[in-house]
Structure 1
Amino acid sequence: METLNLCTPSLPVFNLMFSTIYLLGYFIIFRNWKQNLRPEASSCLVSLAHGTPAVLLSLYSILYPQTQLNFASPNTNFQNMVLDYSIAYFFMDLLHYMIFIPSDVLFIAHHLATLYVFLTCRYIVHHGGSAILVLLVLAEVTSACQNTWSFARFRKADVPVAAKVYERLSPVFYAFYSVVRGVLGPLFVYKMGLFYANGGADGVIPRWAWISWMAVIVSAILVSILWVINLWIDLYRERTKKEERKSS
């Protein structure tokens, strides 16, 4: 039985928290950075504030209950709080893209689709949170590494240390991301899809809900795989050019 009751209006609180972090980054922490880098750096700062805490909170919400959870279990109060935490983050980052990078249709679509899954799970279906939060763990476990890589990428042209960090961290981050998004993620989604397709959530999660969730999740995984493949290709090109310059 769940003893931790989190029925407070957490979504507005988290919205305020992530907005404050973004504004703190934009106007104070990164105020001396180039104007075109300040929004992206602020977005990475918010991502750092969300990623690792979301992983830890999600794991706790899945492991904490005394009753056994499955892909169709009712959401616990703690799981709803974690969903609100991530909803607030994706809403804040969606605003960032719509204001500063409206041409990045792919990321805007990704955030809208993610918000759809979280919002329907949290406020309409009220079930399946344990499965969604495992996916959140797989999505955010690379966050700290990715954002460190992003900060180094932003500053590599101006700061020699950043250039070295970017060069050494890139293959590590790409490998980590490839394993999580290219192997672990698809395996879990396959297991999740079999559960729903075999009627494991019948009478609990509407068919329209889990079908739409699966469509969004599979699409997100495919986009992630394509993204990291392009990173590997760019890394190969960069290393090839570097070797050619050394040999010439």
Structure 2
Amino acid sequence: MDTLTLKLLSISNPLPLFFTLYFIIYLNAYFIFFRSWSRKSRPEASSCIISLAHGTPAVFLACSAILSDAARDFNSPNTPLQNLVLDYSIAYFLMDLLHYLVFYPSDVLFIGHHLATLFVFMTCRYVVYHGAFAILVLLILAEVTSLCQNVWTLASARRSDVKLAAKVYDFLSPPFYALYSVVRGFLGPYFVYRMVRFYVSGAADNVIPKWMWMSWVFVVFMAISVSILWISNLWIELYKERKMRIKMKVR
């Protein structure tokens, strides 16, 4: 375990520190890195930057937290490192929720998603103190595509006026869609199935109330369903775009 992680583990409540970190990154992105972008694109780009700061590090941290716990199971108590990763992610979702409330208050879908995700993370971290193994595996599955997705999103935002962005978008779309489809369409549902099978057996009822794990499963199920719908629409759009380009070349 590195020195920085040990120092963070020594802090009784690192959540405010993590939130401040994301807030500073967001402000720098909005007012410095993307100051030349349009007022419409700057908020989305800034959100992508804090997502980049969260996604890939969260995957590595979650993997480390899971592998370092020899007693890991769906009902095992959270370790200090697992709680640290949960705090790191809670801070991100709080910051991104603030972003949506300020710039996109009518985007009920994303606001609802963030609130539901925060409910899962915060109840696991601060209410039952168990089940982090399952939540962190789901976090890994959710964020393993983060790097590719955020670069794709940034390229998509500028592809109409920047040729390089258009090329990056075209290059990334097929592999990103494929990876996202495998993770959200197959690996995610399979892990949720294992999660449900364990909880239905009653093995976790003494540490995680039934209503709570059922609410976790419901939130994850809805998130996966929306993700599958989203990526399906993107595949359809990609097919239409490629078909249109072929027709234009023939002409």
**Is 1:145 aligned to 2:148, yes or no?**
yes
**Is 1:77 aligned to 2:80, yes or no?**
yes
Query: Unaligned 5+ residue runs, structure 2?
Result: 1-5
1:189-238 CA-to-partner distances (Å, cap 9, x unmatched) read 00000000011202111111101101111111101100100110111111
Checking the alignment, whether the CA contact within 8 Å between 1:6 and 1:81 is kept in structure 2 is: no
Counterpart of 1:223 (choices 223, 226, 229) is 226
Query: Unaligned 5+ residue runs, structure 1?
Result: none
**Is 1:121 aligned to 2:124, yes or no?**
yes
Counterpart of 1:95 (choices 92, 95, 98) is 98
**Is 1:111 aligned to 2:114, yes or no?**
yes
Counterpart of 2:236 (choices 233, 236, 245) is 233
Q: Secondary structure at the match of 1:21?
A: helix
**Is 1:22 aligned to 2:40, yes or no?**
no
Q: Distance in 1 between matches of 2:112 and 2:208?
A: 24
Aligned residues: 244
Counterpart of 1:59 (choices 50, 53, 63) is 63
Q: CA deviation at 1:68?
A: 1.9
**Is 1:208 aligned to 2:214, yes or no?**
no
Q: Secondary structure at the match of 1:36?
A: coil
Q: Distance in 2 between matches of 1:147 and 1:89?
A: 15
Q: Distance in 1 between matches of 2:11 and 2:79?
A: 10
Q: Distance in 2 between matches of 1:29 and 1:115?
A: 28
> 1:42 maps to which residue?
46
Checking the alignment, whether the CA contact within 8 Å between 1:6 and 1:78 is kept in structure 2 is: no
Q: CA deviation at 1:7?
A: 4.5
Q: Distance in 2 between matches of 1:202 and 1:150?
A: 41
Query: Which aligned segments of 4 or more residues in structure 1 are displaced greater than 3 angstroms?
Result: 4-7
Matched AA of 1:16: T
Checking the alignment, whether the CA contact within 8 Å between 1:146 and 1:173 is kept in structure 2 is: yes
TM-score (norm: length of structure 2): 0.95
Matched AA of 2:225: L
Matched AA of 1:104: D
> 1:189 maps to which residue?
192
Q: Distance in 1 between matches of 2:163 and 2:188?
A: 35
Counterpart of 1:31 (choices 24, 27, 35) is 35
Q: Distance in 1 between matches of 2:203 and 2:30?
A: 46
Checking the alignment, whether the CA contact within 8 Å between 1:6 and 1:77 is kept in structure 2 is: no
Q: Secondary structure at the match of 2:184?
A: helix
